[in-house]
Amino acid sequence: MSSLAGSGSAHLRGDAAILSVEDLEVEYHTARGAFKAVAGVSFDLLPGETLGIVGESGCGKSTTGRAVLRLDPIAGGTVRYREERIESASPARMRELRRDMQMIFQDPVSSLNPRRAVKDLVMEGAEIGGVAKKQRELEAPEILTQVGLPSERFAEMLPRQLSGGQAQRVAIGRALAVKPGLLICDEPVSALDVSVQAQVLNLLEELKAKYDLTIVFIAHDLGVVRSFSDNVLVMYLGKTCEFGDSVEVYARPAHPYTRGLLDSVPSPESPEGFTGPALTGDIPSPLNPPSGCRFRARCPIAQDVCAIEEPAMREVRPGQYAACHFPLD
């Protein structure tokens, strides 16, 4: 019962999912004590689906992504990928599994070894997998062409000679070269110029269709997530707030936090400068989270019960789930 008392897992879809995360907890240990950066998050993905995870900085969305690959230690809950349990896989098995679950990082330049040429970077996975140098030399131009970097010009370049967008293309090529079953994109375009953002997103979109990729797309930019994802998961302070079809959630948010996020988007038309009443205040410290609902301190419709009882995820409308005592219509 305790596992369901948190954010809840009513929105999970069972065995059909390729990735199923249930009550995931990740703990960080600091000088001032341990805290849960992720405190009971559940989500799942069907094959070929794209899930967007959104939330403010510090809500635990990136930590969630890393924990799925066990790049951050899993403190509680279960992560199932195909038939494997990630949280209990042996280190040797984990090394094999990780090849099937690739990640694209926020800072494209930092994610490339500054002393490697582009052609070696994209074939890194193959090299680790034991593919001969000759074969790698043959395959590298193919991969580079796929991510829109002509091999003749870019193969010998070093990361610092690339722009952010080009570097991110190399990172995408490197991830796709190992033919992953799951791709986790951790804010892949936040560090890029708006014009380049669109190019990289289009590239991802194109490759998604071509390879039928299953993608977890982590971002704080709501617009980017809406255009890119089938489903969206809204997180706040390590908890799940809302889950549902991205068009539905954007059109009719059920959780006051989702509403607040959408209203905080700057808008030149409105006199206040925002689409609606913007969120105020800062995200509370996860070292000492509020009792009951974690959002109640910033929630415009909070009642007494919100301080006492933590809301569980429940179906508000068909296919749309929210963890709120007073979901919006």
Partner 1 sequence: MTVVTRSISSVSGQALRGARTGIPVVAPAKRQWSVLVWFSYFWIGLVVFLAIFASVLPIAPIDAVVGPPRQPPQLGSLDTLLGTDGTGRSLLSRLIYGGQVSLVVGTVSAAGGVLVGTILGLLAGYFRGRVDWIVTLAADVLLSFPALVLLLAITSIFSPSVPTLLIGLALTSTPTFIRLARANTMAWSSREFVRAARNMGASDTRIVLREILPNVVPTIAAYLPLVVAALIVAEGSLSFLGLGVPPPTPSWGGMINAGAAEMRTSPYLVFVPATVLFLTVFALNQAGEHLRLRFDRTLRD
Phi, psi of 101 (to 5 degrees): -125, 95
Q: Residues 56, 84, 107, 230: which binds partner 1 (CB under 8 A)?
A: 107
Q: How many other CB atoms are there within 10 angstroms of residue 98's CB atom?
A: 17
Q: Minimum CB separation from partner 1 for residue 195, in Å?
A: 23
Q: Minimum CB separation from partner 1 for residue 32, in Å?
A: 20
Is residue 258 at the binding interface for partner 1, with CB under 8 A as the rule? no
CB 200 within 8 A of CB 187: no
Interatomic CA distance for residues 187 and 112, integer angstroms: 16
Q: Minimum CB separation from partner 1 for residue 100, in Å?
A: 9
Q: Minimum CB separation from partner 1 for residue 128, in Å?
A: 5
Q: Footprint of partner 1 on residues 87-106 (CB under 8 A)? A: 95-96, 98-99, 101-103, 105
Is residue 29 at the binding interface for partner 1, with CB under 8 A as the rule? no
- The backbone region for 319, taken as left when phi is positive above 0, alpha when psi lies in -120 to 50, beta otherwise, is left
Q: Minimum CB separation from partner 1 for residue 233, in Å?
A: 22
Q: Footprint of partner 1 on residues 140-199 (CB under 8 A)? A: 158, 160-161, 171, 174, 178
Q: Residues 5, 85, 88, 113: which binds partner 1 (CB under 8 A)?
A: 113
Q: Residues 111, 166, 197, 258: which binds partner 1 (CB under 8 A)?
A: 111
Is residue 71 at the binding interface for partner 1, with CB under 8 A as the rule? yes
Is residue 115 at the binding interface for partner 1, with CB under 8 A as the rule? yes
Stretch that binds partner 1, among 111-119, 192-200, 202-210, 285-293 (CB under 8 A): 111-119
Q: Minimum CB separation from partner 1 for residue 97, in Å?
A: 9
Number of residues that bind partner 1 (CB under 8 A): 28
Q: How far apart are the first and last CA of the chain?
A: 28
Q: Residues 5, 16, 34, 128: which binds partner 1 (CB under 8 A)?
A: 128
Q: Residues 39, 69, 118, 261: which binds partner 1 (CB under 8 A)?
A: 69
Note the residues at the interface with partner 1 (CB under 8 A). Answer: 69, 71, 95-96, 98-99, 101-103, 105, 107, 110-115, 117, 124-125, 128-129, 158, 160-161, 171, 174, 178
